[in-house]
Amino acid sequence: MDAVWTSRLAIVIAIAGQSIDVQAQGAPADPVKVLVERLDLERYKATIKGLTLFGDRREGTARNRAAVDWIETQLKSYGCTDTERIKYVYDTILPPPRQGAAASRRSAIASGEIRRGVGGSRLRGMTRRVVPNDDPKAQTDPALRARNAELPASGPREEVFCTKVGATHPDEMYIVGAHMDGLGFGEAADDDGSGTALVMELARVFSSPDVETARSIRFALWNNEETGFQGSRAYVTQRAPLQGKEDPPGSGRYPEPRWIAMIQHDMMLWDHGMPHADGTVSAEQRPEADINIEFQSTSKFALAAMKLAFFFRDANETYATDYPASAGHHMSNTDSSAFMDLVPAISLRENERGMQIGAGWNPHYHQATDRYSSYSDKDFRLGLNATQTSLAALAQLVDVRLK
Ligand SMILES: [Zn+2]
């Protein structure tokens, strides 16, 4: 089974690579470049801003449901009109531990000391503890505190997706995801308004009437990521068995195209480097900031996922305007984990999840300060470059054409 999927992806990657070479030799305008140029920093920022108007979008609340409705309205307005919802029930409400004085909880890893992080990673240097904020009073803005006042209740949940249907291979698709729920009593601007806006921007560009793709792409905005990935797992449980079935027979319609790969986006803005010895973090994006593309070396499809990760890195080198990308093998704590033993799966982030985010490199992570106003254009531009990277890679993988 691994060989079948590995070769499917390998063939797609080989074909995508060839089409770039042809375009480099003076054929008409490169459609991938044309599409990347349809992305724009102000549009990307405006979508993040729109998401932050729903506060931290914590799952199981009215503000979360309103955000799902808003995302669906936006997707339709982009021309991604066949929106659908996954419905499931979540009834285990476990509050995250309280934050306390996080900034003072720092520790330096000694020379030669091996301290492991999640996903098989190894922590290095100066670390800060990362504990989600569960104290509503940590929000100093009274209006935002009021917006985030409702606490989650057990019950039904929904999440939305839409699909760009492939012109010649409607029965095969890439799944492109981000989680729209957040926590921490802020605005969940970075985690994960930034990834949600990225996926929405991809939906906008690929849904333009002049864009045709050979294969399908599904744009999924997962719910319940912060409680343990119940939204993406519900999708896998409900939809995996439906893959590749034409319904009705002979119609050419595939409600669940066969999955080729899963690409997740989570926290795309902040790469200010390692905490200083006093536990503080640099105020400015570091000039050498990069996008981290991760796969999981212990997953069933590790080899194909590794190839996919480096394909995304190559797409970054060819098409992204500012920041580079690097690839790592410790993907963890992400919605792509639910897919990684079924298809090749990767995750894009501002930092490596284990070694860097897990060591407290982002002081806004799950905090009341994860607000739109906490980020500069240098931060937003890292997210834009991640959008350029995923758009360019996907455009090649689905064999994009401009009509
Ligand atoms: Zn997240």
Query: What is the per-residue pLDDT across 229-251, written as a single tens digit (0 to 9) for each?
Result: 999 999 999 999 999 999 999 99
How far is Cα 47 from Cα 372, in angstroms, rounded to an integer?
11
Ligand 1 midpoint to CA 91 (Å): 20
Banded pLDDT at 103 (limits 50, 70, 90): very low
Q: Separation of 112 CA from ligand 1 center, angstroms?
A: 31
Distance CA 384, CA 389 (A): 9
Ligand 1 midpoint to CA 49 (Å): 17
Whole-number Å distance, alpha carbon 333 to ligand 1 midpoint, is 8
393 against 93, higher pLDDT: 393
Nearest to 401 by CA among 19, 12, 78: 19
- Looking at every residue in the chain, the average pLDDT score rounds to 93
Task: Find the angle CA(323)-CA(314)-CA(48) to the nearest 5 degrees.
Answer: 45
Is the peptide bond preceding residue 249 cis, with omega within 30 degrees of 0?
A: no
**Per-residue model confidence as pLDDT tens digits over 272-295:** 999 999 999 999 999 999 999 999
Percent of the chain topping pLDDT 70: 91
**Per residue in 66-90, pLDDT tens?**
999 999 999 999 999 999 999 999 9
- Two structure tokens written together for 143: 């209006």
Question: Letter for the amino acid at 249?
Answer: P
What tokens appear for 214 in the block?
């050979």
Amino acid at 147: R
Alpha carbon of 225 to ligand 1 centroid (Å): 7
The CB-side HSE value for 170 (13 A sphere, CA atoms) comes to: 13
For the segment 16-44, the average pLDDT, to the nearest whole number, is: 78
* Burial class of residue 204 in the structure, from the number of CB atoms within 10 Å of its CB (0-12 exposed, 13-18 middle, 19+ buried): buried
Instruction: Look at residue 19 and tell me whether its pLDDT is greater than 60.
Output: no
The mean pLDDT of 56-64, rounded to a whole number, is: 98
**Does residue 102 surpass a pLDDT of 90?**
no
Structure-block tokens of residue 126: 């100066």
Comparing 224 with 21, which gets the higher pLDDT? 224
Output the CA–CA distances (angstroms, integers) from residue 342 to 176, 217, 227, 332, 393, in the order listed: 15, 17, 22, 16, 21
pLDDT number for residue 92: 82
What is the C-alpha end-to-end distance of the chain, expressed in Å? 36
Residue-level pLDDT at 105 = 80
pLDDT value at 268 more than 50: yes
- Residue 331 Cα to ligand 1 midpoint, Å, equals 13
CA of 250 to the centre of ligand 1 (A): 40
Taking the centre of ligand 1 as the mean of its atom positions, its distance from the CA of residue 155, in whole angstroms, is 22
Ligand 1 center from residue 359 Cα (angstroms)? 15
> For residues 274 and 351, what is the distance between their CA atoms, to the nearest angstrom?
10
